[in-house]
Structure 1
Amino acid sequence: MTDQRFDKSRLPSRHVTEGPARAPHRSYFYAMGISEDEIHSPWVGVATCWNEAAPCNISLNRQAQSVKQGVKKGGGCPREFTTITVTDGIAMGHEGMRSSLASRDAIADTVELTMRGHCYDALVGLAGCDKSLPGMMMAMVRLNVPSVFIYGGSILPGKLNGRDVVVQDVFEAVGQHQAGNMTDAELDILERVACPSAGACGGQYTANTMACVSEAIGLALPNSSGAPAPYESRDQYGLASGEAV
């Protein structure tokens, strides 16, 4: 934290942090270990789509910690919260497909509700898969508060017989298996190595495409989308994003 005292007279968080009437609100904040200086600083929502549904989301919680460090370095008070995702790679091919597109609006709605309900002044949003990237960006545009988007990063390719393999190879292998050109054992080996780490589907599919879009339209810091999800170098972008917002 810095020693600077912010003028919060025009910030949304003044509605929950400033003046004698907000003493009950501040008592909740003290209960969470928030200091007096932090209470009277700008409040920054750090929203993630972290969950254990798919590898595209699994590293977002870790990456959010570097964002919070950046917010603190910039003199703000970070408040982390999460929302849902429905990941296409898991949801496709069965009734779950009906949930995928609707999840985009649910993500935007829930982030907007949290930001407005708790009067946060700014937002850093982390997302990792097809519908969560646009959902998070939709929330930022609706809210019209200072916002920075961060992509969780792509998965690394797997290795099989000396070549790179990705989940697309597994989908194609299902067809080969159905045609009788691949054995159960060969398919079993491929599915175990094609996705070796955290991150979104390895290819120019929706997640990686929307990550490029986030930089092109100015919601993400330049070059922040390129590093794969497992790379600890992603933390420098989290730190920079938190400080920038």
Structure 2
Amino acid sequence: MKDKKLRSQEWYGRKGKDGFIYRSWMKNQGLPHHLFNGEKPVIGICNTYSELTPCNAHFRDLAEAVKRGVWEAGGFPLEFPVMSLGECSIKPTAMLFRNLASMDVEESIRANPMDGVILMCGCDKTTPSLVMGAASVNLPSLVLSGGPMLVGRFKGKKIGTSDVWRFAEDFKTGKLSQEEFIEAEAAMSRSIGHCAPMGTASTMAAMVESLGLALPDNATIPAADSRRKVMAHMAGMRIVDMVKEDLTMDKILTKKAFENSIMVNAALGGSTNFILHLTAIAKRMGVDIDLTDFDHFSAKIPLIANVQPSGEHWVEDLFYAGGLPAVMREIEKHLHRDCITVNGKTIGDNISQAECYDRNLIGTFEHPIKPDSGIAVLKGNLCPNGAVIKPSAASPHLLVHTGKAVVFENIDEYKAKIDDPNLDIDENSVMVMKNVGPKGYPGMPEVGNMGLPQKLLEKGIKDMIRISDGRMSGTGYGTVVLHVSPESAIGGPLAFVQNGDQISLDVPNRKLDLLISDEEMEKRKAAFKPESLPYNRGYVNLFLDKVNQAHEGVDFDFLVGSSGSEVKRDSH
């Protein structure tokens, strides 16, 4: 690589008019000429900073630490913005725009003079969108996560995002006043960073670390900890060497790396959203991953990390206990230890000296926090292409259950009926929500963990089986079946469920079935008429036309497959 011409020199190394144009306007920022002579790799800092994305609102400051590292290592840092997706604010759901953001990232990298990229990610969808986009270009790339927020305190107890669901139930039943609710808001979100439990944001940070795309401890250092800035500085230094070594993403993102990530996610009790995002990234790289891999590689791994929502504690606590390297060391006999990572070392090298400092936070393989973990993939006549459930966050007594269906045709019907005292529902019922899949409610919102009826909450019922073609927040919990595929909006079997039907869930045997005859199923299928969706312009129209189903990662069909890093020819 030492004698290889830097990619950025296709712009800055030109003579005549073209070189003049590429360099001159850059010099209006006070950049001296020697920065463009091809001796310093140009490092793009892909920043998802936005005040509308609270999890990433500290990224301006974090980017400065990255730049210091790049300069120190002899690189030339240039920061650029891309679309930022704030999970808690953006409507109708951030997932609708993940693919759009990935296109922004891909084309921004491909079209601009950079030799390597730091991907600054935090809030849930910013990580997969940046990795998906960068994977499609395949330059040396290193992921820097923003870090979890510090654990909140409310009425003498630690709290985090997982408590939102509990607070909502207490508010619904009068145990918590509106004034207390507002007090809890500030108490929970008391520092910079993303959600404090092992929600989707921290699951994504762990995903990139276990894939080898991030430096060790990336997943757990709190955002407010000065060591997060140190990591940013070190990431800036390391990406310069990655360019010199030509350590591109395809050398890291192998089939074995994806298998490692699935096992690590199981050990963490990570978000079910992990399946959609890891699948999409794998398909961008041309790596063959499907739902059977998630079930197979999760099944052998127990829950090692005692972190909410599957456990009791928080990601901040996990860092103090040894972080992700310590968790990975507990399952290292199952991992592919020879997988290369961004620091040039193998996974085995990176975890070989990891220690656990608190067995309340990190169990062992022989004595885990829970025997069941990961993600179970269900098949049956209700989900021919699969559905998923997180056993570690479910109620054991409901993992094998048969009950009558209580059907909500869409989210609006659910909201209108759920607290009606005359709703025919009890704790043995199976709640079913339709039309919240990738196309039915464009973007597949996080509404799968439906709140329980008030009359059952007042009886002390805390969990019921809930089934949908949608998603749920990684901070959510319960016996919740998600990602039913194919979705109801396109005529998947979920569309045919009627009130009173019996539904059988058998997680140990990976089965989910609607207990009607094949003849009745065909009769209902013949009568099915898809709803007309009111989207006929712009990005949402493109999404509906080109999006794949949940078992395929909800990516666009035309983005599947890596397309290389060739430079588009300019017309100057």
TM-score, normalisation: structure 1: 0.90
SS in 1 for 2:84: coil
Equivalences for residues 181-196 of structure 1 within 5 A: 181-196=175-190
RMSD value over aligned CA atoms? 1.6
Cα distance 1:90–1:36, how it changes in 2: closer, same or farther (>3 A)?
A: same
Kindly report which structure 2 residues correspond to 1:66-81, keeping only aligned pairs within 5 A, or say none. 66-81=65-80
Tell me what 1:50 maps to: 49
Letter aligned with residue 208 of structure 2: S
SS in 2 for 1:155: coil
Say which SS state the counterpart of residue 53 (structure 1) adopts: coil
Structure 1 residue 153 corresponds to structure 2 residue 152? no
* Residues 44 and 120, structure 1, Cα contact 8 Å, conserved in 2: yes
Quote the residue 1:111 is aligned against: 105
Between structure 1 and structure 2, the one with the greater Rg is: 2
**1:83 Cα deviation from its structure 2 partner:** 1.4
SS in 2 for 1:80: strand
TM-score by length of 2: 0.40
2:158 aligns to what? Answer: 164
Question: What are the equivalent positions in structure 2 for 1:77-96 lying under 5 Å apart?
Answer: 77-91=76-90, 96=91
Shift of 1:121: 0.8
Summarize the alignment of residues 1-245 of structure 1 with structure 2, pairs less than 5 Å apart: 10-21=5-16, 22-40=19-37, 41-91=40-90, 96-98=91-93, 100-245=94-239
For residues 48-87 of structure 1, what are the alpha-carbon distances to aligned partners after superposition, in whole Å with 9 as ceiling and x for unaligned?
Answer: 1100013211111111111111111111110001112222
Moved more, 172-181 or 155-164: 172-181
Take 1:58 and 1:19, find their aligned partners in 2: how far apart are those partners? 38
Q: Secondary structure at the match of 1:101?
A: helix
- The offset of 1:188, in angstroms, is 2.0
Larger proportion of helix:
1
Structure 1 gap ranges (5+): 1-5
**What is the CA–CA distance in structure 2 between the aligned matches of 1:243 and 1:79, rounded to whole Å?**
14
SS of aligned partner of 2:25: helix
Identity of aligned residues (%): 27
Corresponding residue for 2:524? none
Cα distance in 2 for residues equivalent to 1:153 and 1:203: 11
3-state SS of 1:167 partner: coil
Report the residue type matching 1:57 in the other structure.
N
List 4+ stretches of structure 1 deviating above 3 A: none
Contact 1:59 1:230 in 2 (8 A): no
The CA distance in 2 between the partners of 1:168 and 1:216, in whole Å, is 24
Deviation at 1:140, TM superposition (A): 2.3
Q: Distance in 2 between matches of 1:10 and 1:105?
A: 32
How far apart are the structure 1 equivalents of 2:151 and 2:172?
Answer: 24
How far off its partner does 1:180 sit?
1.8
**d(CA) in 2 for partners of 1:16, 1:207:** 36
Residue identity opposite 1:182 in structure 2: L
What 5-or-longer segments of structure 2 have no aligned partner? Answer: 240-572
1:85 & 1:20 partners in 2: Cα distance? 36
Q: Is the 8 A contact 2:206 2:218 kept in 1?
A: no
Question: Aligned pairs, how many?
Answer: 234
Q: Distance in 2 between matches of 1:132 and 1:184?
A: 32
CA deviations over 1:164-205 (Å, ceiling 9, x no partner): 111222332122112222222221221221110111111111
Q: How far did 1:123 drift?
A: 0.2
Q: Is the 8 A contact 1:155 1:230 kept in 2?
A: yes
Residue 89 of structure 1 aligns to a residue whose secondary structure is coil
Give a deviation string over 1:190-241, Cα, whole Å, max 9, x none: 1221110111111111110111111111110111222111112111111111
SS at match of 2:88: helix
Q: In the alignment, what sits opposite 2:432?
A: none
Write the distance in 2 (CA, Å) between the matches of 1:185 and 1:31: 52
Secondary structure at the residue paired with 2:67? helix
* Deviation of 1:102 (Å): 2.8
- How far, CA to CA, are the matches of 1:156 and 1:139 in structure 2? 30
Q: 2:44, 2:79 within 8 Å by CA — same for their partners in 1?
A: yes
More contact order relative to length (CA 8 Å, sep ≥ 6)? 1
Query: Given residue 175 of structure 1, which amino acid in structure 2 is its aligned partner?
Result: E
